[in-house]
Amino acid sequence: MAYLATPSATAETIRRFDFNFQKKYGQNFLVDGNILKKIIDAAEITREDCVIEIGPGIGTMTQYLAEAAGKVIAVEVDKNLIPVLKETLSAYSNVKVVNQDILKVDISRLAEEENSGRPIKVVANLPYYITTPIIMGLFESCAPISDITVMVQKEVADRIKAGPGGKDYGVLSLAVQYYAEPEIVMNVSPECFMPKPKVGSSVIRLTRHPKPPVEAGSEEKLFSVIRAAFNQRRKTLANSLANSTFLLDGEGVQLKITRQQVCDALEKMEISPTVRGEALTLEEFAVLCNLL
Ligand code: SAM
């Protein structure tokens, strides 16, 4: 089987199929076999694993996944790539290609149908334009995903990994860290792709927590407090949260919070009333949320 992970094999394949890169689909194909091997290693794939790959492109990463995993479900939105994948993956009987938009796939159902509801891994060189909805959609789907190892824009990896205090820390850091432990596996140069992206890239592994690390009572309330806290970063937390309304889980009840209530809660937590949202840890947000 000819591997596609070189510039010449990729160029030859797209020429043969008369394929045109679609910018709107974030198509930057990997052309470096060493990077692919490192991604497979970081994802710790074994023959026991069922892997979902998002956006197989011409099948470059899929070949490596198929050789390591028991089963690979590759979800590709671009119908022009389906005939290419049919040929480049013809040697692998353990790969199923699904021509669909990943944001419209019922991941829980897919995991149930393809792996009898057992834990699945997600591995991908993601289309960067929808990185956040993909990652949050996977976590919020309640599908049994054990870990996610993906190539993302470097700036996004830094934001996911960030802790309190820095400029990268925000809603994305807290939302992802609520569900998983992030680890930056490596940074990847634009030279490793065809065509070369204009931004740097990083591979990040998100290992799902067996249960969320904090008790927030209501996830919906926790995330709305966090979103409101970072809405205007330069304001103090008390000013950001003052007069915000939060939906209480499921019941459609709206909770309006006053500045004084936030200050009282911060006092109980022995935190200055002039603190900014970016200084609080996930745990502190959970405590604050329970006090409000
Ligand atoms: N995995 C290939 C590789 O590494 O060479 C291609 C990665 S490329 C960065 C992103 C891939 O995601 C493209 O094949 C693109 O067509 C596909 N894609 C874009 N949007 C998608 C979506 N909503 N659902 C599924 N696939 C999508």
Q: What is the pLDDT along the chain (292 residues), one digit of tens a residue?
A: 578 999 999 999 999 999 999 999 999 999 999 999 999 999 999 999 999 999 999 999 999 999 999 999 999 999 999 999 999 999 999 999 999 999 999 999 999 999 998 999 999 999 999 999 999 999 999 899 999 999 999 999 999 999 999 899 999 999 999 999 999 999 999 999 999 999 999 999 999 999 889 988 788 889 889 998 998 878 899 998 886 766 655 555 566 788 899 999 999 999 999 999 999 999 999 999 999 8
Q: 73 Cβ partners below 8 Å, 6+ apart?
A: 50, 51, 52, 53, 96, 98, 110, 114
Q: Is ligand 1 within 6 A of the CB of residue 199?
A: no
Cβ(77) – ligand 1 distance below 6 Å: yes
CA of 28 to the centre of ligand 1 (A): 8
**Residue 264 burial (CB count, 10 A):** 15
For residues 134 and 129, what is the distance between their CA atoms, to the nearest angstrom? 10
Which tokens hold the place of 50?
Answer: 């069922």
Residue nearest to atom 23 of ligand 1 (CA): 101
Of ligand 1's listed atoms, the one at least distance from the Cα of 53 is: 1
What number of helices (H) and strands (E) belong to the chain? 12, 11
Contact predicate 39/101, CB 8 Å:
no
Ligand 1 in reach of 193 Cβ (< 6 A): no
Of 65, 37, 33, 63, nearest to 51 by C-alpha is 65
CA of 22 to the centre of ligand 1 (A): 10
Q: Is the CB of 102 under 6 A from ligand 1?
A: yes
| CB-CB contact of 246 with 254 (8 Å) | yes
Rounded to 10 deg, the angle between the 33-43 and 60-68 helix axes is 40
Residue 274, Cβ density class (10 Å: 0-12 exposed, 13-18 middle, ≥19 buried): exposed
- Ligand 1 and 33: CB distance under 6 A: no
Q: Which of 62, 195, 202 is nearest to 123 (CA)?
A: 62
Angle separating helix axes 154-161 and 171-179, nearest 10 degrees: 70
| Per-residue pLDDT at 232 | 80
CA-CA distance, 280 to 84, in Å (whole number)?
Answer: 49
211/43 Cα distance (integer angstroms)? 20
Question: Quick one: pLDDT at residue 224?
Answer: 87
Q: Is the CB of 25 under 6 A from ligand 1?
A: yes
- Confirm if 209 and 181 have CB atoms less than 8 A apart: yes
pLDDT of residue 124: 98
Q: What does the block give as tokens for 287?
A: 């405590």
Q: Give me the torsion for CA of 94, 97, 103, 104, rounded to 10°.
A: -110
Looking at residue 221, its pLDDT comes to: 85
Ligand 1 within 6 A of 55 CB? yes
Alpha helices in 17-153 (DSSP H): 33-43, 60-68, 82-88, 107-115, 131-140
